Amino acid sequence: MKKILTVLILLLAVSGCSRNLSKLNLEKLNKKLDNKETFILYLTDESDSSNTLKNTLTSVLKDNNINAFYLNTDKLSSTDQDELKKIIAYEDSNIIIFIKDGSENTVLARITDNYISKEKLTEELKVQGYIK
């Protein structure tokens, strides 16, 4: 029993340490924005196509040792979705948004291509100043 518990604890520790994409809820997002933080936000509905983008994003984050946050829009109530749309205007999920000092710099910088290559995403993160 001790061995099983030890293995489980080690697995949790390892998976927690390598996590570059952290889950947010609407309350935490509002706090980050109020605190004028700079971060990468990934809005997802966790569909099959979003998993492709999520996998690419996770790989780029891990390769460059940077962090980002995601919010599953499908898990939000309709009231919370309306509140989120007041904060960040969006029609469809599966968007990477660049937040600088608590607000989105420009909607033109958003990544909306679910099938963007790892190389193109890395380059865009460089352009946006998240990768040096």
Give the torsion through C-alpha atoms of 28, 88, 97, 41, to 10 deg.
10
Question: What is the residue extent of each domain of the chain?
Answer: 20-127
Question: What are the phi and psi torsion angles at 20 (to 5°)?
Answer: -105, -10
User: Is 128 a residue whose pLDDT tops 80?
Assistant: yes
The set of residues, in sequence order, having a beta carbon less than 8 Å from that of 95 and lying 6+ positions away, is 42, 43, 110, 111, 112
What pTM did the predictor assign?
0.83
The set of residues, in sequence order, having a beta carbon less than 8 Å from that of 6 and lying 6+ positions away, is none
Q: Which residues of 22-38 are buried (b: 16+ CB within 10 A; e: fewer)?
A: eebebeebeebbeeeee
- Give the pLDDT confidence of 81-116 residue by residue, as tens digits: 999 999 999 988 899 999 999 999 899 999 999 999
- Give the pLDDT confidence of 5-36 residue by residue, as tens digits: 444 444 444 444 348 999 999 999 999 999 99
pLDDT of residue 6: 44
The architecture of the domain spanning 20-127 is 3-Layer(aba) Sandwich (3.40)
